[in-house]
Structure 1
Amino acid sequence: MKLGAIEAGGTKFVCAVSDDNINVEDREQFPTTTPEETMAQVFTYFEEHPVDAIGIGSFGPVSLNEDADNFGYITNTPKLAWKNYDFLGAMKAHFDIPFYFTTDVNVAAYGEYKAGAGRGKKNILYWTVGTGVGASYIQKGKFLQGYSHPEMGHILLRPDERDHGFEGVCPYHGNCFEGLAAGPAIEKRFGKKGYEIDPSDPFWEIEANYIAQACVNATLILRPDIIIFGGGVMKQTQLFPQIQAEFVKQLADYVDFPEITGYIKHVALGDDAGITGALMLAKKVVNEK
Structure 2
Amino acid sequence: MALAPTLRSVTSTGSAGGELSRPVIDLHTHSSVSDGTETPSELLAAAAAAGIDVLAITDHDSVAGWDEAAAAAHEHGVTLVRGIEISCAWRHSSIHLLGYLPAADDRPLREELARARDSRATRLERMVERMAADGIPLTYDEVLAQVAPGATPGRPHIADALIANGTIEHRDEAFGSWLGDDSPYYVGHYAPDPVSAVELVRAAGGVPVLAHPFTRTRSGSVDDALIARMREAGLVGLEAYHRDHGADEVAHAEELAVRLGLLLTGSSDYHGTGKRNRLGENTTTPEVLEAIEVASSGVTEVLRP
Normalised-by-shorter TM-score class: 0.3 to 0.5
Output the TM-score relative to the length of structure 1. 0.40
Higher relative contact order (CA 8 A, sep 6+): 2
- TM-score, normalised via structure 2 length: 0.38
